[in-house]
């Protein structure tokens, strides 16, 4: 099952999804892989201090079409944990 699972990368605070680019190209070129840009209108405003994790997770889960392996760090890790608690069928 693990080999067929899509992999979703969630970046940390102060960077964007391009931080995963080289890593994805080197190690996951043959997998269904995506990275979600967290700082964008409607998801997280980069100047926002209080983040509604439930709202962010609700938007992210719509982009995950089948159970996925989540790779995350920093802020992305907080979101991944919340995502797993709210939408266990997605991870």
- For residues 60-86, b (16+ Cβ closer than 10 Å) or e, as one string? bbeebeeebebbbbebbebbbeebeee
The pTM (predicted TM-score) of the whole model is 0.83
What's the pLDDT score for residue 87? 98
What's the pLDDT score for residue 85? 98
Separation between Cα atoms, residue 37 and residue 12, nearest integer Å: 10
What's the pLDDT score for residue 12? 87
What is the pLDDT tens value at each position of the chain, 91 positions in all? 456 789 999 998 888 888 888 888 877 767 788 888 888 766 776 656 678 899 999 999 999 999 999 999 999 999 999 999 999 999 9
What's the pLDDT score for residue 22? 86
């Amino acid at each position: 099952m693990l080999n067929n699972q899509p992999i979703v990368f969630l970046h940390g605070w102060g960077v964007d999804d391009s931080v995963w680019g080289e890593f994805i190209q080197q190690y996951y070129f043959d997998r269904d892989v995506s990275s979600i840009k967290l700082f964008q209108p409607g998801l997280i405003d980069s100047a926002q201090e209080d983040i509604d994790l439930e709202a962010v997770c609700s938007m992210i889960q719509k982009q995950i079409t089948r159970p996925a392996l989540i790779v995350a760090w920093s802020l992305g890790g907080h979101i991944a944990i919340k995502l797993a608690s709210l939408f266990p069928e997605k991870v």
